[in-house]
Amino acid sequence: MEARRAQLLGAAVDLFGHRRPEDVSLDDVAAAAGVSRPLVYRYFPGGKQQLYEAAVLGAAEELIGRFEVPSEGPPTERLAAALDRYLEYVEAHAPAYGALLGGGSVAETSRTDAIVDGVRRRAGEQVLHHLGVTEPGPRLAMMVRAWIASVEAVSLSWIDEGRRQPRAELRDWLVDHFTGLLLVTATTDAEAARAAARALPQETPDSPAGTLLARLTALAPTAAHLFDRAP
Amino acid sequence: MEARRAQLLGAAVDLFGHRRPEDVSLDDVAAAAGVSRPLVYRYFPGGKQQLYEAAVLGAAEELIGRFEVPSEGPPTERLAAALDRYLEYVEAHAPAYGALLGGGSVAETSRTDAIVDGVRRRAGEQVLHHLGVTEPGPRLAMMVRAWIASVEAVSLSWIDEGRRQPRAELRDWLVDHFTGLLLVTATTDAEAARAAARALPQETPDSPAGTLLARLTALAPTAAHLFDRAP
């Protein structure tokens, strides 16, 4: 019983994970699992919608597992490792990711929305964990949400344009984005300033944050006039 | 005929602009316009959904108008002015904005999604216009989309938390976010570097970008060790 249910679910996770939901039928799931359509209904009386929601939940668990990286080394290296695994997932499941997060999918329900929000929340908690924060104030919480929204928008654009930009370049740029956002937020928010002051000493000249700062100083001549009123 | 239609539409724009779509009925629109329900149907045979889509289109036109600011002065001051008008709109129409962009609304259709995407596209074109760019390459296009997704996520968070953070603070932080994102992107993308090199000379010590750079240099001591291998 349980084995048969798992087998059907596995087929659904695979099919819904690689196609848009409207391109998967209950017959496809039955055929992939090598069973009859009525048997699928016996285990999943809610039919295609129930299988889709179960598949989204399975994908969410897979994605959440990918966020977990060891709490050691430069924080921006950890972020790069987690992002790499996220983008690898996006790449392997592009049509499904696009349908789920791009909006306007017929299979989208309040349940799938809640699952997606759960993934975002866990992603945010992981980012904050590596910054040494458990109970973020309003600005830091917004900062993390803003960056995660950016990662999703960039992933969707990447899919839309046929993934022309190499994954590693996209990952490095998204890590730079996070570092830049933390630094600008640290200039006005005390909690972000403390998080940056904890994180920066763990960075090295070769870590993503280290190379970013070296690259940024190379831009300084363009901005020299902005420091004219320094004594 | 045309006047009556405009009157009904005005009532719908007002009602749908201040409440969630599920909290507006066709009777509400009829009552607000001082007409009978059958008369509403005569002008809008598609009923509530047609009125909602017309209202979303009206809101989109209003928002797009708010993005337009004069092409003079420091670019980050122009961005602050446009953002201020955007957030003012979000504040005045919080329930409607939340329902439209927060996802999971019953009234969301491929037509309302397309209208929202149109607003995003115009916002992106405006941002690029002030950077002197008309045909952005893939990275710069993604950068603008990422920042607009951040603005939306932040606006939704702001609504969810009951708009506790002052609008001006949020605006200034979002402008800092944009400046930081442009600068980090400029370290790896030639087009972004050219845009930054065009924009920075137009900034002043008192403009948002000018004060951000002064604030950032104050963080430098924490990062001094990252420059240890400089000759």
Q: What is the pLDDT of residues A122-148, one digit of tens each?
A: 999 999 999 999 999 999 999 999 999
What's the structural domain count of chain A? 1
Mean pLDDT of A99-111: 76
Q: Token digits for B208?
A: 């948002």
Does residue A200 register a pLDDT over 90? yes
CB within 8 Å of A216: residues ≥ 6 apart: B183, B184, B187
Measured in residues, chain A has a length of 231
Cβ contacts of B157-166, under 8 Å, gap ≥ 24: B157/A141, B157/A142, B157/A145, B158/A142, B158/B87, B158/B90, B159/B90, B159/B94, B159/B97, B159/B98, B160/B98, B161/A138, B163/B91, B163/B94, B164/A138, B165/A138, B165/A139, B165/A142
Q: Token digits for A82?
A: 């987690």
Collapsing DSSP to helix, strand or coil, B218 comes out as coil
A215 touches chain B (CB under 8 A): yes
What's the DSSP call for residue B123?
H
Nearest to A203 among B149, B226, B229 (CB): B226
Residue A231: predicted pLDDT: 43
**Cα–Cα distance between A34 and A52 in angstroms, integer?**
18
Residue B42: predicted pLDDT: 93
Cα three-residue angle A172-A178-A183, rounded to 5 degrees: 125
Mark yes or no for CB contact B201/A225 under 8 Å: yes
In a domain, A27, yes or no: no
In a domain, B48, yes or no: no
Query: The CATH number of the domain where B96 resides is what?
Result: 1.10.357.10
Residue B75 · residue B127 · CB < 8 Å: no
Does residue B24 register a pLDDT over 90? yes
Mark yes or no for CB contact B227/A209 under 8 Å: no
**Cα–Cα distance between B88 and B80 in angstroms, integer?**
12
Residue A229: predicted pLDDT: 54
CA nearest to B124, candidates B150, B103, B99 = B150
Q: How far is CA B56 from CA A193, B14, B128, B152, B160, in A?
A: 40, 11, 25, 16, 21
A164 touches chain B (CB under 8 A): yes
Measured in degrees and rounded to the nearest 5, phi and psi for residue B137 equal -75, 175
Does residue A163 register a pLDDT over 50? yes
Residue B230: predicted pLDDT: 47
In a domain, A60, yes or no: yes
Domain range spanning residue A77? Answer: 56-211
B181 touches chain A (CB under 8 A): yes
Closest chain A residue to the Cα of B230, Cα to Cα: A214
Residue A67 · residue A120 · CB < 8 Å: no
Q: Token digits for A147?
A: 């960056």
Mean pLDDT of A213-217: 91
In a domain, B151, yes or no: yes
Burial class of residue A73, CB neighbours in 10 A (0-12, 13-18, 19+) = middle
In a domain, B223, yes or no: no
- Between chain A and chain B, the number of residue pairs with CB atoms below 8 A apart is 165
Nearest to B177 among A141, A181, A228 (CB): A181
> At residue A71, what is the residue type?
S
A133: phi > 0 → left, psi -120 to 50 → alpha, else beta; which?
beta
Task: State the pLDDT confidence band at A105, using cuts at 50, 70 and 90.
Answer: low
B209 touches chain A (CB under 8 A): yes
In a domain, A6, yes or no: no
Interface pTM (ipTM) of the complex? 0.92
Q: If you average pLDDT over every residue of chain B, what do you get?
A: 91
B134 touches chain A (CB under 8 A): no
Collect all residues of chain A within an 8 Å Cβ-Cβ radius of residue B172. 188
**Cα–Cα distance between A185 and A182 in angstroms, integer?**
5
* Percent of the residues in chain B that have a pLDDT greater than 90, as a whole number: 72
Residue A44 · residue A8 · CB < 8 Å: yes
B146 touches chain A (CB under 8 A): yes
CA nearest to B211, candidates A184, A191, A212, A217 = A184
Nearest to A150 among B141, B149, B226 (CB): B149
Q: What is the pLDDT of residues B61-110, one digit of tens each?
A: 989 999 999 999 999 999 999 999 999 999 999 988 888 887 666 677 78
A103 touches chain B (CB under 8 A): yes
**Which residue has better confidence, A103 or A217?**
A217
Mean pLDDT of A37-43: 93
Residue A145: predicted pLDDT: 96
Interface test with B, best of A177, A178, A185, A217 (most B CBs within 10 A): A177
Collect all residues of chain A within an 8 Å Cβ-Cβ radius of residue B214. 226-227, 230
Does residue B148 register a pLDDT over 80? yes
Residue A204: predicted pLDDT: 95
Does residue A103 register a pLDDT over 70? no
Residue B220: predicted pLDDT: 78
**Cα–Cα distance between B167 and A70 in angstroms, integer?**
38
* Percent of the residues in chain A that have a pLDDT greater than 90, as a whole number: 71
B101 touches chain A (CB under 8 A): no
Burial class of residue B135, CB neighbours in 10 A (0-12, 13-18, 19+) = exposed
DSSP assignments along B149-195, one per residue: HHHHHHHHHHHHTTS-S-HHHHHHHHHHHHHHHHHHHHTT-HHHHHH
What's the DSSP call for residue B217?
H
B220 touches chain A (CB under 8 A): no
Mean pLDDT of A181-185: 97
- Residue ranges of alpha helices (H) inside chain A are 2-18, 26-33, 37-43, 47-67, 75-92, 94-101, 110-130, 138-160, 167-186, 190-199, 208-217, 220-223
Burial class of residue B3, CB neighbours in 10 A (0-12, 13-18, 19+) = exposed
Does residue A230 register a pLDDT over 60? no
> At residue A97, what is the residue type?
Y
- Is the Cα torsion angle B114, B117, B123, B129 positive or negative in sign? negative
Q: What is the pLDDT of residues A46-89, one digit of tens each?
A: 999 999 999 899 889 989 999 999 999 999 999 999 999 999 99
Residue A165: predicted pLDDT: 93
Q: If you average pLDDT over every residue of chain A, what do you get?
A: 91
In a domain, A100, yes or no: yes
Cβ contacts of A170-173, under 8 Å, gap ≥ 24: A170/A87, A171/A80, A171/A83, A171/A84, A171/A87, A172/A80, A172/A208, A172/B188, A173/B139, A173/B184, A173/B185, A173/B188
Closest chain B residue to the Cα of A229, Cα to Cα: B205
A163: phi > 0 → left, psi -120 to 50 → alpha, else beta; which?
left
In a domain, A3, yes or no: no
Does residue A179 register a pLDDT over 90? yes
Collect all residues of chain A within an 8 Å Cβ-Cβ radius of residue B141. 157
Q: What is the pLDDT of residues B152-184, one digit of tens each?
A: 999 999 999 998 999 999 999 999 999 999 999
What's the DSSP call for residue A198?
H
Shortest CA gap B2–chain A (Å): 32
Residue A154 · residue A175 · CB < 8 Å: no
